């Protein structure tokens, strides 16, 4: 099962996108609809709302009068907390029920207007944001019959584009005609979501050839998103963005590397299932190959995981915090961040080797070929820290 979070400002075209995903077979869970369902006539939810706020929140037919209720909670934090205390647990329970009822190979799309505001992004394998400019959204909402000042008020109450961009794994621009965005949804479904779902279910990671590309300014933001997911799956443990993509200016394979801190390899093994479910299947035990002087080799063991998303490759090294592998990775990153000459030299070595190993589908031969340079670099790095630099 793949969990996709879908959001976007009001009028951006979120419902249009959700409908198309449903046509492809996605199980769409509409958070707004559930919010209405839990207070429909005849529900416990509505009875509790009436008990807390009085009969005057009902209309003549005994249904909830939203405007009357809104007037009672507006600007009153305690009243709002009371209302949320009634509705939120019911919405959450119903959402969990619908997810549990979905088939094992489902692509579940959770349509949540306030996904960004409620900081829900790390819960999903992928977050999809639909975007259109404010003026376009106002025009479309007018077309749907909403009064302009009402539309403006709703837009102002929502997150801004910068916050949305930060959590978007996929940014779907809907400023063109509906056909354009729907074609992009079709491609996203076939090229990414279907393959991602299969990978998660079958515990496969995404792979690709070791092609070195110029430094990408968006790597830190992408890394922050992925790190938040890993951290959540790993019970809040420390996650560090490491490797070439963590060094500004350095050319690299488009694969984000992370290390997750554990206190022992046994603890790493206990996290395997949660990380796999979160989209980072385990590859077993690995050994860090850069070693120095007579260290006990078992201390260089780690558990390896890799990302299942075909649109965002990730390597995840689960290492004992403060152990030699952990420390080496942090020092190597910080040395390359500090030393422009080493950075340029490393980029040249990587480019040459990636050219030579173009046909290497998983990058292992490329990785091995880098080892001699890495060994020499480790000695230079040690000298750098001996000279009084601190990591
Ligand atoms: P949301 O769910 O984000 O509030 P909707 O999907 O309901 O937005 O879209 C808002 C309105 O704009 C709807 O009437 C919809 O038909 C229309 N709409 C959506 N996408 C486009 C587009 N690309 N061009 C023109 N109108 C659009």
Domain ranges of the chain: 1-26+106-202, 31-101, 212-386
Q: For residues 34 and 345, what is the distance between their CA atoms, to the nearest angstrom?
A: 56
For 157: left if phi > 0, alpha if psi spans -120 to 50, otherwise beta; the answer is alpha
Work out the pLDDT band at 295, boundaries 50, 70, 90. low
Q: For residues 64 and 83, what is the distance between their CA atoms, to the nearest angstrom?
A: 13
Q: Is position 95 annotated in a ligand binding site?
A: no
Query: Which atom of ligand 1 lies closest to the CA of 176?
Result: 23
Q: Is position 11 annotated in a ligand binding site?
A: yes
Distance 144 CA to ligand 1 centre (A): 8
Q: Which helix (H) or strand (E) is 334 found in, with range?
A: helix 324-338
Work out the pLDDT band at 293, boundaries 50, 70, 90. low
Q: Is position 118 annotated in a ligand binding site?
A: no
Query: Which atom of ligand 1 lies closest to the CA of 174?
Result: 23
Tell me the average pLDDT of the chain.
93
Q: Is position 7 annotated in a ligand binding site?
A: no
Q: Which of 105-109, 325-329, 361-365, 380-384 has the lowest mean pLDDT?
A: 361-365
Q: For residues 165 and 27, what is the distance between their CA atoms, to the nearest angstrom?
A: 24
What's the pLDDT at 95? 97
- Residue whose Cα lies nearest atom 5 of ligand 1: it is 13
Percentage of the chain modeled with pLDDT above 90: 80
Q: SS3 for 10?
A: coil
Query: Which atom of ligand 1 lies closest to the CA of 175?
Result: 23
**Is 222's C-beta closer than 6 angstroms to any atom of ligand 1?**
no
Question: Tokens at residue 390, please?
Answer: 């601190």
**Residues 125-154: pLDDT tens digits?**
999 999 999 999 999 999 988 988 988 988
What's the pLDDT at 157? 84
Q: For residues 155 and 142, what is the distance between their CA atoms, to the nearest angstrom?
A: 13
Question: Tokens at residue 34, please?
Answer: 């559930």
Distance 154 CA to ligand 1 centre (A): 16
**Please, which residues have CB within 8 angstroms of residue 143's CB and are 6 or more apart in sequence?**
none
What's the pLDDT at 183? 98
**Residues 199-252: pLDDT tens digits?**
999 999 999 888 899 999 999 999 999 999 999 999 999 999 999 999 999 999
Residue range 146-172: mean pLDDT, rounded: 91
Distance 92 CA to ligand 1 centre (A): 27
**Residues 46-103: pLDDT tens digits?**
999 999 999 999 999 999 999 999 999 988 999 999 999 999 999 999 999 999 999 9
Q: Which of 256-265, 289-298, 320-329 has the lowest mean pLDDT?
A: 289-298
Q: For residues 12 and 132, what is the distance between their CA atoms, to the nearest angstrom?
A: 5
Distance 131 CA to ligand 1 centre (A): 11
Of 284, 279, 287, 256, give the one whose Cα is nearest residue 268: 284
Check residue 296 and report its DSSP letter. Answer: -
Q: What is the pTM of this model?
A: 0.92
Of 265, 268, 283, 277, give the one whose Cα is nearest residue 363: 283
**Is 178's C-beta closer than 6 angstroms to any atom of ligand 1?**
yes
For residues 367 and 89, the model is more confident at 89
Length, in residues, of the chain: 391
Contact 259, 317 (CB under 8 A): yes
Work out the pLDDT band at 292, boundaries 50, 70, 90. low
Distance 93 CA to ligand 1 centre (A): 29
For residues 355 and 278, the model is more confident at 278
Domain 31-101 has CATH 3.90.550.10: no
1-26+106-202 has which fold?
Rossmann fold (3.40.50)
Check residue 277 and report its DSSP letter. Answer: H
Q: Which of 131-140, 285-294, 366-375 has the lowest mean pLDDT?
A: 285-294
Percentage of the chain modeled with pLDDT above 70: 97
Question: Tokens at residue 209, please?
Answer: 């050839």
**Please, which residues have CB within 8 angstroms of residue 197's CB and are 6 or more apart in sequence?**
1, 2, 105, 106, 107
- Residue whose Cα lies nearest atom 4 of ligand 1: it is 11
**CATH number listed for the domain at residues 212-386:** 3.30.460.10
The reply to whether domains 31-101 and 212-386 share a CATH topology is no
**Is 177's C-beta closer than 6 angstroms to any atom of ligand 1?**
yes
**Is 12's C-beta closer than 6 angstroms to any atom of ligand 1?**
yes
Distance 167 CA to ligand 1 centre (A): 22
**Is 181's C-beta closer than 6 angstroms to any atom of ligand 1?**
yes
**Is 16's C-beta closer than 6 angstroms to any atom of ligand 1?**
yes
Residue range 174-192: mean pLDDT, rounded: 97
Contact 7, 116 (CB under 8 A): yes
What's the pLDDT at 123? 97
């Amino acid at each position: 099962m793949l969990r996709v979070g879908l959001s976007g400002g009001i009028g951006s075209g979120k419902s249009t996108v959700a409908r198309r995903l449903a046509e492809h077979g996605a199980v769409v869970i509409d958070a707004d609809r559930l919010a209405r369902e839990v207070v429909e006539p005849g529900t416990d939810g509505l009875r509790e709302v009436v008990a807390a706020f009085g009969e005057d929140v009902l209309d003549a037919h005994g249904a909830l009068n939203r405007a009357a209720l809104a007037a009672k909670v507006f600007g009153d934090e305690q009243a709002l907390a009371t209302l949320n205390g009634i509705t939120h647990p019911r919405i959450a329970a119903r959402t969990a029920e619908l997810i549990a009822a979905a088939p094992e190979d489902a692509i579940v799309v959770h349509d949540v207007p306030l996904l960004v505001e409620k900081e829900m992004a790390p819960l999903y394998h992928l977050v999809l944001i639909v975007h259109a400019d404010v003026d376009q959204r106002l025009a479309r909402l007018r077309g749907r019959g909403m009064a302009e000042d009402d539309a403006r008020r709703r837009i102002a109450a929502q997150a801004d584009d910068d916050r949305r961009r930060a959590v978007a794994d996929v940014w779907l621009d809907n400023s063109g005609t509906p056909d354009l965005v729907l074609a992009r949804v079709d491609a996203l479904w076939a090229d990414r979501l279907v393959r991602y779902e299969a990978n998660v279910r079958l515990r496969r990671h995404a792979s690709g050839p070791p092609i070195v590309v110029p430094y990408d300014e968006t790597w830190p933001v992408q890394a922050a998103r992925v790190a938040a997911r890993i951290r959540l799956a790993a019970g809040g443990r420390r996650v560090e963005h490491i490797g070439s993509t963590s060094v500004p200016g350095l050319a690299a394979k488009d694969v984000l590397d992370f290390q997750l801190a554990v206190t022992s390899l046994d603890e790493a093994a206990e996290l395997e299932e949660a990380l796999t479910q979160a989209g980072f299947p385990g590859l077993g035990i690995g050994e860090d190959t850069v070693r120095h002087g007579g260290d006990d080799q078992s201390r260089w063991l780690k558990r390896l995981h890799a990302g299942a998303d075909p649109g965002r490759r990730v390597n995840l090294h689960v290492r004992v915090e403060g152990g030699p592998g952990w420390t080496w990775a942090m020092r190597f990153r910080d040395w390359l961040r500090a030393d422009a000459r080493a950075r340029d030299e490393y980029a040249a070595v990587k480019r040459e080797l990636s050219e030579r190993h173009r046909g290497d589908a998983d990058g292992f031969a490329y990785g091995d070929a880098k080892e001699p340079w890495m060994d020499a670099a480790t000695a230079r790095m040690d000298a750098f820290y001996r000279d009084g630099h601190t990591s």
